[in-house]
Structure 1
Amino acid sequence: MKFLILLVCTVAVVTSDYLRPCYFTDWAHYRPEPAKFEPESYVPGICTHILFAFAKVNWDFTAAAYDPEDLPSGPNGGYFARVNKLKDKQPGLKTLLSFGGWSAGTGTFKQMASDAGNRKKFIDSAIQFIGQYGFDGIDIDWEYPDANDKSNYATFMKELKAAAGSKLVTAAVTADPAKIDIGYDVPSLAQSLDFLNVMTYDFHGGWEQVTGENSPLYSPPGDTTNWNTAYALNYWAQKGFPKNKLLVGIAAYGRGWTLSDPNNNGIGAPGQSAPALQYTQTEGFGAYYEICKLGGTRYWDDNQKVPYIVSGNLWYGYDDVQSVGVKMQWVKDNGFGGAFVWTLDFDDFNGICSGGDHYPLFNTIIKVLGGGSSPTGVPTQPPATTPNQPPRTTPNGPPKTSQNPNQPFQCPTPNGFFSDPLDCTKFYECANNIAYHMTCPPGTEWDEKELTCEYPNQTVCFQRY
């Protein structure tokens, strides 16, 4: 008890020339123990910035919370307040509210950015929103602007930064050189953004029919795709973004396959997306704390500077302490600004992997880049919260409407949320009679009755009846 009290009272002072942001996801607290992650699971000092994922852009281009539990009516004052309260224990910690994410799609962003009035409405609303809830900045995770959005995206970011004043403005962006060319006016963004989070992961995954590394530092011999971390960061720099504001993305998770033949288990071996693991409940995906418990044999790919693990017929490409250390040394050697992590709740925050260290990946980043405090202690115990409920990603909308799955989807009403007749994990959001295809957060499905994304055992999905 005395030890816990000391931890509660500890104040971490972080000093480092390198930036070490991390994403906090507001749905991780819905997982069962020991995977449940609360703001109080954070150990002061392991990040320089916390980016809260996610808030949303409404149909009318105002800012809003995705989950009502983020607001003051949520448990123990809501997740916005609980994340911002972490600044009491870590002076200098900055918090940003991230808008968008993969599941948000591109439709609302496109409409907002394409019109000066819409941009102003969102910018004014977002700045008021983050001020109301105590955030220090705004992060934009638009995945991804295309050729038609390139000028609008740059203008939006310029106007956002001009209106934000002393508030930080950042963005999460692609590592794909082709998408960089198409969607980003890099010299303009260099003037508008305080730093840039380059998503140097998901280079390979279960959508492919052969195994591959999730986040290689370099390409393997004979690979001419330039699909790797080093090329992506250097490409952004060559296009005109300052190196000291470019951050490498570290994935605290891996991508997995079920091997067609367990005896053929190298990189490039045939396979299909691996089944969902116990806690993350997402096909072809595993948190670091899940992968480290798979057993089997770990292999090191010295060309790509990342490991993979083979356990029976399962194959996962991922990052571990060794590969993260190599990447952080590369950051230092090449003059980049630091590294961000997706996400806090995927590292081994409970110390269940071999060695029992808490946050081993974050700990490695700190050791190599400097600053912060090594997270070897036990996190502050979170206050009691309401029983686990899956996150609501959308407000209740109009009644459900059936669609012929053999015909293109048409909006039944100008605005609202509607089932995808072909896929329980997807839905449509209609805005001004334009249908945007959306995907539920990992491990959840669309519930026709509640018109929100829920865990499968609590949803009413037409495909099962």
Structure 2
Amino acid sequence: MDLLYCILIAVCSLGVKANVNTYVRTFEQPEERISTLKTVCYYPMSNAINTTTKDPIPEGFNSTLCSHVIFIPTIIDRNNQIQPATPSHAVLFQRAIPVIRQQNPELIIMVSNGGHFDPVMESMKNISQFVQSAVVLLRKYNFDGLDLDWEFPGWPITEKPKGQIHNFSIVLTELRKSFEMEAVQTNRTRLLLSAAVAATKEMAEKIYEMDYLKKALDFVNMMGYDYNGWGLLTCSKYAFNTNNLAWSATHWGSWIGKDKLMVGIPFYCHAFKLLTPLMHGYHAIATGRGECDMAAYLCACDALKKKNATRVFDNAAKVPYLYYGDQWVSYDDVQSTTIKAKWIKENGFGGLMTWNMKSDDYEGVCDGKTKYPLMNAVLRTIHNQI
């Protein structure tokens, strides 16, 4: 058992990764306190979309909480063309975006592509087809820009084709050139370009050509979560001070400029099933994933209501975890989200990114009254209302 325990610790330490429309904000917003920080919110759309309802706004979406929203998903077809993921997504884009713009004319609305990029990278012809189709899609559905969520170019290095890392840089460069040219030709506002990127040093320094990212991208969404791997030992996936959101953000800021960096905060859980309830701290042996694994924040709230649930706040990592029975859950709550948002603001970053709006408690179930408690914690913090 001692040998197994040591092996599992090593595995854990080596890993990396990675209707509410009438809702009104419940906190004041004096003009002199409004922050210039961007709040970038991903919103994943389900593949099971009901496009026949009278209200076109998707469940859990709120147009007033973020400066930027990035809808998911789109796909890349066999001809290297970017398209809505399904016909239902196309209908939803057509119906929802005009209504959202009426609700909040200042909201920047983008769309993300996390599709299968490998074929696009095989030739300049394929890259050109992808770039041209991106402009068509963005203008057709009245988006303000494109986000690339490729996890990850050239990774694992031993498995991906040589040259893929540089070809990703070429894709970014060609997209930026195309967006600039289209803006001049049509006299329209230039389309924006962003990318979701790995946070850990092991990956970031190997798979990204930082000079290209800095020149091509308007901003970068750093995925500041899924730390500490996918092994079978309990460990925080969202640590702020240890293995380590702060380290990742500081280095990414030095690589591409703090003003372009959106530091990621997760609104979902990671969970483990414990080998024994008697071992429930860090590095406790697990037999598999837990009931709340990859579930929304609400799962942690519900778990805390269980009779034998215990919440522990790690003052070193600045994040909580909870355990009950044979279940162990790593997550961010209002306290840890506030700490992260405060640090992001005080250290001069361009803003923060959340994954994702739909995983927040958008119905106010956790305390019976507060809708979007995590996002509102962010907003109170950056607007100096804490």
Identify the TM-score tier after normalising by the shorter chain: 0.7 to 0.9
Which one of 70, 95, 118 corresponds to residue 109 of structure 2? 95
Name the CA distance, whole Å, in 2 between partners of 1:84 and 1:170: 22
The sequence identity of aligned pairs, in percent, is 29
Measured against aligned partners, the alpha-carbon deviations of 1:112-166 in whole angstroms (never above 9, x if no partner) come to 1342211111111111011101111000011101263221111110110111130
After superposition, the Cα gap between the structure-2 partners of 1:81 and 1:169, relative to the gap in structure 1 and judged at 3 Å, is: farther
The AA in structure 1 aligned to 2:253 is: A
Which one of 356, 362, 371 corresponds to residue 358 of structure 1? 371
Name the CA distance, whole Å, in 1 between partners of 2:98 and 2:319: 34
State the shift of 1:370 in Å. 2.3
Which one of 290, 305, 313 corresponds to residue 318 of structure 2? 305
Partner of 1:120: 128
Partner of 1:172: 196
Name the CA distance, whole Å, in 2 between partners of 1:92 and 1:20: 13
State the shift of 1:368 in Å. 1.0
Partner of 2:67: 48
1:40-439 equivalence runs, <5 A: 41-72=60-91, 78-100=92-114, 104=115, 108-146=116-154, 148-165=163-180, 166-204=190-228, 207-219=230-242, 227-238=243-254, 240-277=255-292, 284-295=293-304, 296-370=309-383
State the shift of 1:369 in Å. 1.3
The AA in structure 1 aligned to 2:197 is: V
State the shift of 1:313 in Å. 1.4
Check conservation: 2:267, 2:332, Cα contact below 8 A.
yes
Name the CA distance, whole Å, in 1 between partners of 2:287 and 2:77: 37
Gaps of 5+ in 1: 32-36, 73-77, 220-226, 278-283, 375-465
Query: What is the count of residue pairs matched by the alignment?
Result: 336
Name the CA distance, whole Å, in 2 between partners of 1:208 and 1:6: 43
The AA in structure 2 aligned to 1:249 is: G
Which SS does the other structure have where 2:238 is aligned? coil
RCO higher in structure (CA 8 A, sep ≥6)? 2
Provide runs of 4+ in structure 1 moved above 3 Å.
4-8, 12-16, 28-31, 274-277
Check conservation: 2:290, 2:329, Cα contact below 8 A.
no
1:34-45 equivalence runs, <5 A: 39=58, 41-45=60-64
After superposition, the Cα gap between the structure-2 partners of 1:305 and 1:84, relative to the gap in structure 1 and judged at 3 Å, is: farther
1:442-461 equivalence runs, <5 A: none
Name the CA distance, whole Å, in 2 between partners of 1:30 and 1:65: 13
Name the CA distance, whole Å, in 2 between partners of 1:251 and 1:91: 26
State the shift of 1:276 in Å. 4.1
State the shift of 1:83 in Å. 4.1
Name the CA distance, whole Å, in 2 between partners of 1:42 and 1:327: 23
After superposition, the Cα gap between the structure-2 partners of 1:294 and 1:40, relative to the gap in structure 1 and judged at 3 Å, is: closer
The AA in structure 1 aligned to 2:151 is: E
Check conservation: 1:299, 1:308, Cα contact below 8 A.
yes
After superposition, the Cα gap between the structure-2 partners of 1:143 and 1:95, relative to the gap in structure 1 and judged at 3 Å, is: same
The AA in structure 1 aligned to 2:287 is: Q
State the shift of 1:67 in Å. 2.2
Q: Structure 1-normalised TM-score?
A: 0.68
State the shift of 1:66 in Å. 1.2
The AA in structure 2 aligned to 1:250 is: I
Q: Structure 2-normalised TM-score?
A: 0.81
Measured against aligned partners, the alpha-carbon deviations of 1:56-89 in whole angstroms (never above 9, x if no partner) come to 11121111111221122xxxxx245314521211
After superposition, the Cα gap between the structure-2 partners of 1:47 and 1:6, relative to the gap in structure 1 and judged at 3 Å, is: closer
State the shift of 1:259 in Å. 1.0
Check conservation: 2:21, 2:63, Cα contact below 8 A.
no
Partner of 2:44: 25
Measured against aligned partners, the alpha-carbon deviations of 1:171-212 in whole angstroms (never above 9, x if no partner) come to 00101212112211112211111110001111146x311001
- Structure with more helix by fraction: 2
Which SS does the other structure have where 1:339 is aligned? strand
